[in-house]
């Protein structure tokens, strides 16, 4: 079976509503975002002007770019507030025995 999931960290490393910075495939900066039992992964680059969103507010549903305030739905990647209009890339996440795996296929 082809499995493009890679282990990126542990559930215990992320607060109930929080994030973990990871590198996928040694090339893509991404954020694993946790909202209770739900986990998401988005590329850590704002589609408005390339700002890393590592320090952006996360309310459990939307991630805010710290530069100009664009918001993204972390489940779908959709831009929900200007000035961004393009979605941010998302990656599937699986939790296996307390470990976080993200699917990345370049």
Q: Which residues bind ligand FES (CB under 6 A)?
A: 46, 48-49, 51, 65, 67-70, 83-84
Say if CB 7 and CB 94 are below 8 A apart: no
Nearer to ligand FES, 29 or 103 (CB): 29
How many of the other CB atoms lie within 10 Å of CB of 48? 19
Tell the smallest beta-carbon distance from residue 1 to ligand FES (Å).
38
Say if CB 81 and CB 74 are below 8 A apart: no
Tell the smallest beta-carbon distance from residue 29 to ligand FES (Å).
14
Tell the smallest beta-carbon distance from residue 42 to ligand FES (Å).
13
Nearer to ligand FES, 67 or 75 (CB): 67
Least Cα distance to 44 among 25, 26, 20 occurs for 20
């Amino acid at each position: 079976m082809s499995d493009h999931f890679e282990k990126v960290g542990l559930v215990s490393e992320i607060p109930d509503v929080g994030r973990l910075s990871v590198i996928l495939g040694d090339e893509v900066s991404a954020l694993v975002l946790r909202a209770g039992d739900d986990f998401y992964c988005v590329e850590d680059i704002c589609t408005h002007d390339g700002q890393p969103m590592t320090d952006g507010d996360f309310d459990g549903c939307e991630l805010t770019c710290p530069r100009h305030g664009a918001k993204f739905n972390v489940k779908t990647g959709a831009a929900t507030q200007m000035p961004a209009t393009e979605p941010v890339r998302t990656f599937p996440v699986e939790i296996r025995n307390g470990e976080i795996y993200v699917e990345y296929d370049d």
